[in-house]
Amino acid sequence: MIVSAMWRFPVKSMGGQLISDCEITDVGLAGDRGWGVVDTATGNVLTARREPRLLFATAELTPAGKLLISLPDGSLVDAGGSDALSRWLDRPVSLERAGDVGGVYEVPLDTEAETDWISWQGPPSAWHDTERARVSLVSTASIGAWDVRRFRANVLLDGGGEDALVGATIRIGTATLDVVKMIERCVMVNRAQPGVEADREVLRAIIRERENCLAIGARVRDPGVIAEGDEIEVLASEG
């Protein structure tokens, strides 16, 4: 398997940025999920599970490292754009950079339900869902005809068989990763986003055919750089 595409998602649950290479830090791709939209009434980090409109905004980092957000009306918002985001979402929110203390998220108890939510504490340093997995990878074989953007993976692999890498230590480019888990899916894979229609059958198919898992999650062992065309090298495996 080789790297055929890479994405960075500077703002949690917003559309991401297609990139050809990226520095891999201790907490994942540099700048990935570095910002989150926080609901000021609850202090919770919003995700597209609770606020699907987030998927219709797109975030990117400029070569100088500046955050730019494109809203659906074409307007641009920078890192100081909390007021503009509040007007767009019709609720008071603040755009906050991830820090040393992880954020509090709301997630549904049932992956198909829109009610019965719970709050949980996320990890520090980036608005990721888990401390264990900071880089996500999926193959072209696994996603088939589905649009890869539904799954918000950092790395798209040309080929297949990534599930077998769980438990392995791999090298991509100059970075070394420990593949620690399969990634469970939620209702977000069904959501509409620019160029992608809503489809409730996506999650149902993943539950039915893949036991609700699609893509793998890895922890960074040794930082480095990953680029398109890099091949996966297995350094050690549980098998």
Residue in the structure block whose two tokens are 């059958």: 201
- pLDDT of 205: 97
Q: Give mean pLDDT, residues 235-239.
A: 81
- pLDDT of 239: 58
Under a CB-based contact definition with an 8 Å cutoff, are residues 46 and 57 in contact?
A: no
Alpha-carbon distance 222 to 209, whole Å? 34
Alpha-carbon distance 10 to 18, whole Å? 11
User: For 122, which DSSP code?
Assistant: P
The structural domains of the chain, ordered by start, are 2-236 (2.40.33.20)
Q: What is the pLDDT of residues 197-222, one digit of tens each?
A: 999 999 999 999 999 999 999 999 99
Confidence band, pLDDT 50/70/90 cuts, at residue 43: confident
What pTM did the predictor assign?
0.90
Q: What is the pLDDT of residues 4-13, one digit of tens each?
A: 999 999 999 9
Longest pairwise C-alpha distance within the chain = 53
pLDDT at 120 over 70: no
